[in-house]
Amino acid sequence: MVRRFINFGKFAWRRFENISTVAVMSVMVVLPVLEATLRKFFSLTLPGAAEYVRHGTLWVAFIGAALAAREGVHLKMASGDFIKKEPFKTILFVFQSSLAVAVSAGFVIACFELISAERANLMNVAPFLPTWIAQIPMPLCMAMVAVSFTRKAEGWASRITVLALAGAMLCIGFVPEANRGALLMPTIIVLLAGLLAGAPLFTVFGGLALFLFFMDGIPLAAVPSETYRVVASPTLPTIPLFTLAGYILSEGGASKRLVHLFHALFSWMPGGVAVATVLVCAFFTTFTGASGVTILALGGLLFPMLVKEAYPERFSLGLVTASGSIGLLFPPSLPIIIYGVVAAIPIDRMFIACLIPGLMLVTLVSGFGIGLSKFKRIASTPFHFTTLRRAISVAKWDLLLPVIVIVGIFGGLTTIVEAAALTVLYAIILECFIHKTLSFSVGLPRTMVKCGEIVGGVLIILGFAFGLTNYLIDAEIPALLKTWVQATIHSKLLFLIILNLLLIVVACMMDIFSAIVVVVRIMLPIATAYGIDPVHLGVMFLVNLELGYLMPPMGLNLFFSAYRFERPLTDVYRAVVPFLILGAIIVALVTYIPWLSLCLIGK
């Protein structure tokens, strides 16, 4: 009877998480579209619509974090799979889980401090939405994150151990303020050990932020307060919206349609299949925002196609692995949006600034494919107009997707959030009603939940990283670092070289989203002191981090590729070497010729 009750509770909560994700994402799509329509045709506005959409981003972030914990897909630096033998494997898992539970519980405690203060203020963030109600998803969902990590431990003995270790970690809260500084290094060591053992990245950022504020005697409410403050950015809702559009397209089969179209367009020319691979990956990544998704979604189509056309296996493996991240330099790329949010730069300026470097990278990688094709004397496929016409007929509606974004944003017809919502609506119409490859009642909600898992995993890191970097800023760490760097490095050229190396290392150590949040807020004032334009710095960041995706031994694309194609990592390492060289050329050109990034924005 008790077991049946527990199972029913799990099922009911799972349904609640799924329904909440679908409901919030639906509201985030409908409100901007309705707002744009009313403004355009009736000169009316929806009071509070923008605030509801922004807070929808917060709710999606934390509900998605609960979903990611439930499904075990939180972003990690390491998997912890390097230990296979028992009992060491179980010990490692218990350590990861206890750390995640402790940080989640600490954040819940901090949230209740914040909500208690907000309840006393009786302020509304939007019509009929008190501030403290808007913040409720933070502690509720992080509590569920703690529950999920506890449940994943096998057996009651392991679960009790997880709770006991997490409780022991939380006992740090009873340490007198005068003695807390002595715990800084042990805390950092434990968090780094968790990072290497496979604990989620949010535990490192969140745990360090909580401890640093605690060490200085600042109320822990400062951490969720900074996380909550992220929603003040008017462009942040574009992250879940554009990601949702990409997932709908992926689940609806847009990848297959685009592959057939680009193959029909370019396979007749030398290296045409390689060119088609680069272009279709770039097109797809712009909407998914994640190179790993592109490799997983398109790899099964593109790799066999390249091998079938007589391209060497190593080249084919390297091309698909490298092409997965090329689209990050084209609108509406999520890393571009995140950089604009963090650096407080208009997103449309960043989109324009990235165009020339993005086209250069596409041209260089495509040119390498063409050159290899000629060297290997790979035969081209004869051009058939009938095949092209059929491919265009099938994929014509997919090709309109970038038009919505470009015309909407740069034509002044919509805000960037409204353009993102329109893109999602168009993707839904395309896949559910035109192609009918995605069920509106079943497939679409399932896709929204899957998207929520990924968005939650990214945004929770973003929120916690903001809390950490705000502590560093309050502690004047960037200012001290700026003074030291200027006193030590007198050459702008030397600074740029060191910055390039630093960014590539950072890209190997963490995902591109958290890397942007953590490093940009620290390096931006230093780079500005050397006369580096923030827009130019942004493009530098993106091309360096993109190169880091391919850098052995820890580049994320390498792991995705090894997993997707079932190849040893050493094979993938060798395959990407030529593309690392091409990427390094683009990094050098972008870094030392600022005109490439600034000319289109009039600087």
Q: Please determine, for residue 176, whether its predicted confidence score (pLDDT) is greater than 80.
A: yes
Among the ranges given (244-248, 406-410, 505-509, 565-569), the one the predictor scored with the smallest mean pLDDT: 505-509
Whether the link from the prior residue into 87 is cis, omega within 30° of 0, is yes
* Assigned token pair, 164: 């006991």
42 or 33, which is more confident: 33
126 beta partners: 129
* Assigned token pair, 6: 């527990």
pLDDT tens by residue, 402-444: 777 778 777 778 888 898 899 899 999 999 999 999 999 999 9
Give the pLDDT score at 304: 85
Rounded average pLDDT over 373-387? 85
- Check: pTM over 0.95? Answer yes or no: no
Give the pLDDT score at 590: 93
Q: Which domain holds residue 270?
A: 238-601
Domain-terminating residue out of 197, 232, 267: 232
Examine the domain organization and report whether 201 and 303 are in the same domain: no
Instruction: For residue 195, give the amino acid letter.
Output: L
Report the chain's mean pLDDT, rounded to a whole number: 85
- Confirm whether 2 is domain-assigned: no
Q: What percent of the chain has pLDDT over 70?
A: 93
Query: What is the 8-class DSSP label of residue 414?
Result: S
Examine the domain organization and report whether 152 and 259 are in the same domain: no
What DSSP string runs through 54-105? HHHHHHHHHHHHHHHHHHT---BS--STT--STTHHHHHHHHHHHHHHHHHH
Examine the domain organization and report whether 118 and 221 are in the same domain: yes
CA distance 231 to 125: 11
Query: What is the 8-class DSSP label of residue 200?
Result: B
Examine the domain organization and report whether 49 and 111 are in the same domain: yes
Q: How confident is the model at residue 359 (pLDDT cuts 50, 70, 90)?
A: very high
Rounded average pLDDT over 97-121? 91
Whether the link from the prior residue into 237 is cis, omega within 30° of 0, is no
Q: How confident is the model at residue 296 (pLDDT cuts 50, 70, 90)?
A: low
Q: Please determine, for residue 78, whether its predicted confidence score (pLDDT) is greater than 70.
A: no
DSSP E strand boundaries for 122-234: 124-126, 129-130
- Confirm whether 1 is domain-assigned: no
Give the pLDDT score at 510: 65
Among the ranges given (123-132, 152-161, 503-512, 569-578), the one the predictor scored with the smallest mean pLDDT: 503-512
SS3 (DSSP) at 431: helix
What DSSP string runs through 195-216? HHHT-BHHHHHHHHHHHHHHHT
Examine the domain organization and report whether 179 and 303 are in the same domain: no
Give the pLDDT score at 338: 83
Examine the domain organization and report whether 318 and 464 are in the same domain: yes
- Confirm whether 343 is domain-assigned: yes
* Assigned token pair, 216: 């200085």
**CB 228 within 8 Å of CB 114:** yes
Examine the domain organization and report whether 77 and 141 are in the same domain: yes
Examine the domain organization and report whether 185 and 328 are in the same domain: no
CA atoms within 13 A on the CB side of 352: 15
* Assigned token pair, 413: 């017809």
CA distance 206 to 464: 5
Examine the domain organization and report whether 312 and 453 are in the same domain: yes
Q: What percent of the chain has pLDDT over 90?
A: 28
Examine the domain organization and report whether 211 and 282 are in the same domain: no
pLDDT tens by residue, 218-247: 888 888 988 888 765 677 888 888 888 888
Domain-terminating residue out of 186, 206, 232: 232
CA distance 249 to 398: 9
Q: How confident is the model at residue 315 (pLDDT cuts 50, 70, 90)?
A: very high
- Confirm whether 8 is domain-assigned: no
* Assigned token pair, 535: 């827009």
3-state helix, strand, coil in the chain (%, to 5): 80, 0, 20
Among the ranges given (17-21, 86-90, 189-193, 393-397), the one the predictor scored with the smallest mean pLDDT: 86-90
- Confirm whether 4 is domain-assigned: no
Instruction: For residue 17, give the amino acid letter.
Output: E
Q: Please determine, for residue 520, whether its predicted confidence score (pLDDT) is greater than 70.
A: yes
Number of domains in the chain: 2
With vertex at residue 555, the alpha carbon angle to CA 322 and CA 281, rounded to the nearest 5 degrees, is 25
Give the pLDDT score at 290: 56
Examine the domain organization and report whether 219 and 247 are in the same domain: no
- Confirm whether 142 is domain-assigned: yes
Distances (CA, A) of 585 to 197, 336, 360, 545: 35, 21, 10, 14
- Confirm whether 6 is domain-assigned: no
Q: Please determine, for residue 452, whether its predicted confidence score (pLDDT) is greater than 60.
A: yes
Rounded average pLDDT over 581-601? 92
Among the ranges given (75-79, 196-200, 534-538, 585-589), the one the predictor scored with the smallest mean pLDDT: 75-79
Examine the domain organization and report whether 195 and 332 are in the same domain: no
Q: Please determine, for residue 519, whether its predicted confidence score (pLDDT) is greater than 80.
A: yes
Among the ranges given (105-114, 203-212, 273-282, 547-556), the one the predictor scored with the smallest mean pLDDT: 547-556
- Confirm whether 458 is domain-assigned: yes
137-151 and 88-121 helices, crossing angle to 10°: 170
What DSSP string runs through 294-359? HHHHHHHHHHHHHHHTT--HHHHHHHHHHHTTGGGGSTT-HHHHHHHHHHT--HHHHHHHTHHHHH
Whether the link from the prior residue into 240 is cis, omega within 30° of 0, is no
Domain-terminating residue out of 206, 232, 258: 232
Q: Please determine, for residue 3, whether its predicted confidence score (pLDDT) is greater than 70.
A: no
* Assigned token pair, 101: 């539970």
Give the pLDDT score at 44: 85
Give the pLDDT score at 267: 82
SS3 (DSSP) at 443: helix
